[in-house]
Amino acid sequence: MELGNLGTIDTVIFGAYIVGVILFGVWIANREKTSTASDYFLASRSLPWWAVGGSLIASNISAEQIIGMNGSGFELGLAIAAYELMAAITLILVAKFFLPVFLKQEIYTMPQFLEERYDGTVRTIMSVFWIALFVFVNIATVLYLGALAIETLLGIDLIYGIIGLVLYSASFSIFGGLKAVVWTDVVQVVVLMLGGTIAAYGILSVVGDGSVFTGIANLYQALPEHFEMLFEPGDTYLDVASAHELSTGVTPYGEPTALESGAEVKSSFQLLPGMALLFGGMWITNGYYWGNNQYIIQRALASKDLAEAQRGVAFAAFMKLFIPFFAVLPGIAAWYLLREQDPANLPITKADQAFPWVLANYVGVGFTGLTFAALVAAIGSSVSSMVNSTSTIFTMDIYNKFINPEATEGRQVRVGQISAAVSLVIGAAVAPALDNAGQVFQVIQEYTGFISPGVLVVFVFGFFYRRGTAKAALLVVLSSVPLSWAFQQLMPDLPFLDRMAFIFVISALLMVVVSQFTGRKRLAPGEESANHKTGGQITNRDSHEKLIKDIKLRNGLCLAVIGIGGATGLRLLLQPVPGIPLWMSIIFLVLSIGVVALIYTDKTADDYKAIDLHPSLFRTRMGFNIAAIVIILILAFLYTWLG
């Protein structure tokens, strides 16, 4: 099958599925009443564990995973799967240490928590950051990749594909709120997992002469470099888009190329810097995404209770282990089948076309339409999730706070609907600008990394550093973007995961040092409210249970600093990166040791908004603990075998 020609049967199945999902979403939106803010933004806090887990994966698995990661698998190999595999452990940690605090506070948004822990200024700044990130990076990139898949398989111009996805997402998410988004997610995650598996089975069977397992073995034998899980500084890959441009002499826009010979060979290590995938910057990427990202964490906030939320997150963690089978292996198989051809004559002119090419050529009639429909539906699902979270933050953290603090529940819902529509339109306007971005998955990771180190520090230290102050948090969030930009310009050879680790350590240092000079002593028990929402104070003084010992909190913070900053410095010392001087790794280590020393020697009083954490808050059930152990053992086996 040629690209741009889906076929009659597949086109009918594709259209029927999309229409069916739209009708289902509209039915849910009309059946479920969304008269209150809780109904619209948090699905009335009534989601069962399987809906939480399914919606988490449906919101997460979208164009950037299926198309973007297969594109990275096409050029880089299985190492890109670290984003999925390490996410499984991250989800377990988030469920155990983050969710108990969030659900205890009954918050709607991440910025709301920041005001309760710090102050309104931190909340407002982060609200603006998140809205800009969701609209200009997340929504725009997902719309672009989805439209690229539609263009590749259906031959529809990119701009019309973007418009179609906007209309699809708007059809139920704007009026139905989170309930409509989540229940359509539950349907779509089943079809998407099935469709992705069918696609992987189709191309792997071709590679293995009818056997999937033989196909994987043949790939492993023929392309050992594509199964490296941890790259070395000298490892490179072929940038297909640049190779095609050099071979034809013109850009995708028909202009003479400015590239020179050799520009098509790029560093794999720059994108996936070796052990940083296990220790270092990867923890920032995953910790921020799964623990502090509104459109992800909002599903858990909408669960029935903490136990139900933790079961749902553990369920999602197990599904993450399976995702590389259809989100990476088809891309590797595509490279296997095309690697001998002239780059000028490849049917793929950019890496992100790998998965649509697989669908067009190696999935059976009927299944191609179903798989493609599930992919497009999941793209719409992710967009809907991002749009709903954008409208939640705008309504709860900006409109309610600054524009109309006395807004009725109905008015809040209407504002949420309007802001959702506006965010879709802006994202659609930005999406076409990504047409020459290469591996868009990597673009998302890098630019999200401009704010994620500072945000993660503010949240983690907000939980476990009782002396952290609002002024320190404000400085951290304000400095994250300029520091990231400065290091990107001054040290372009430093891999972005390592840059994120360095910003994390600097942010931690700022949090501790500034807090020591700006602290406001906590009031005596008799002078403060027992209600954590009174005065913005997060406390629980009516409980007779002892607090978690301060030394345990310090140990946890130091472990985070060592595991991210110290590990990165040590790795750079033992595994030097070309273009990065030795003193950089020494600074990493010195800063990490300095932060650890400051944490252990800090004698200042607790901040007046410090969180009272009791041991019972973090107790988990036996089933959750067993799931965590099994996930860790599976990952240990994979990295030992392939590492």
CB-count burial class (<10 Å; 0-12, 13-18, 19+) for 555: middle
Q: Give domain status of residue 527, yes or no.
A: no
What is the predicted pLDDT for the residue at 436? 62
Alpha-carbon distance of 540 to 525, in angstroms, equals 10
Q: What is the pLDDT of residues 232-281, one digit of tens each?
A: 888 899 888 888 888 888 877 678 888 888 888 888 988 888 888 888 88
Contact assessment for residue 8 and residue 387, using Cβ atoms and an 8 Å cutoff: no
Distances in Å between the alpha carbon of 145 and those of 84, 164, 290, 467, 506? Answer: 19, 13, 22, 44, 34
The residue that leads in pLDDT, 542 or 289, is 289
CB-count burial class (<10 Å; 0-12, 13-18, 19+) for 418: middle
Contact assessment for residue 572 and residue 480, using Cβ atoms and an 8 Å cutoff: no
Domain coverage including residue 615: 8-38+51-521+545-642
Q: What is the pLDDT of residues 294-316, one digit of tens each?
A: 878 888 888 888 889 899 999 99
According to DSSP, residue 576 is labeled P
What is the predicted pLDDT for the residue at 178? 67
Which run of H or of E encompasses 266?
strand 265-267
Average pLDDT value for residue range 75-87: 91
- Whether the per-residue pLDDT at 595 is higher than 90: the answer is yes
Alpha-carbon distance of 542 to 530, in angstroms, equals 6
**Comparing C-alpha atoms, which of 22, 55, 15 is closest to residue 178?**
55
Q: Give domain status of residue 2, yes or no.
A: no
Q: Give domain status of residue 612, yes or no.
A: yes
What is the domain-level CATH number for residue 61?
1.20.1730.10
Give me the residues paired with residue 256 across strands: 250
What is the predicted pLDDT for the residue at 437? 57
Number of CB atoms found within 10 A of residue 121's CB? 16
Alpha-carbon distance of 148 to 555, in angstroms, equals 47
Helix, coil or strand: residue 267: strand
Q: Give domain status of residue 67, yes or no.
A: yes
Distances in Å between the alpha carbon of 148 and those of 116, 196, 253, 356, 443? Answer: 42, 18, 16, 9, 16
Q: Give domain status of residue 162, yes or no.
A: yes
In the block, tokens 């939480």 appear at 52
What is the predicted pLDDT for the residue at 296? 81
Give me the number of domains the chain comprises: 1
**Which residues neighbour 484 within 8 Å (Cβ) at sequence distance 6 or greater?**
449, 450, 451, 453, 499, 500, 503
Cα of 65 vs its chain's centroid, Å: 10
In the block, tokens 């529809």 appear at 156
Within 13 Å of residue 411, how many CA atoms lie on the same side as its CB?
9
- The pTM for the full model equals 0.84
Structure tokens belonging to residue 591: 């800063």
Amino acid type, 54: G
Report DSSP letters for 456-502, one per residue.
HHHHHHHHH-TT--HHHHHHHHHHHHHHHHHHHHH-TTS-HHHHHHH
Beta-strand relationship, 265-267 and 236-238: antiparallel
Q: What is the pLDDT of residues 477-495, one digit of tens each?
A: 999 989 999 988 888 888 8
Alpha-carbon distance of 300 to 313, in angstroms, equals 8
CB-count burial class (<10 Å; 0-12, 13-18, 19+) for 469: buried
Average pLDDT, rounded, for the chain: 84
Average pLDDT value for residue range 379-407: 86
Cα of 167 vs its chain's centroid, Å: 24
Q: Give domain status of residue 103, yes or no.
A: yes
Alpha-carbon distance of 462 to 473, in angstroms, equals 8
Q: Give domain status of residue 451, yes or no.
A: yes
Q: Give domain status of residue 529, yes or no.
A: no
- Whether the per-residue pLDDT at 137 is higher than 60: the answer is yes
What is the predicted pLDDT for the residue at 542? 45
What is the largest distance, in Å, between two alpha-carbon atoms of the chain? 77
Number of CB atoms found within 10 A of residue 28's CB? 19
In which band, very low, low, confident or very high, does the pLDDT at 539 lie, cut at 50, 70 and 90? very low
Q: What is the pLDDT of residues 157-188, one digit of tens each?
A: 889 989 988 888 887 667 666 677 777 777 77
What is the predicted pLDDT for the residue at 8? 81
What is the predicted pLDDT for the residue at 533? 42
Number of CB atoms found within 10 A of residue 521's CB? 10
Q: What is the CA radius of gyration of the chain?
A: 24
What is the separation, in whole angstroms, between the first and last Cα of the chain?
Answer: 37
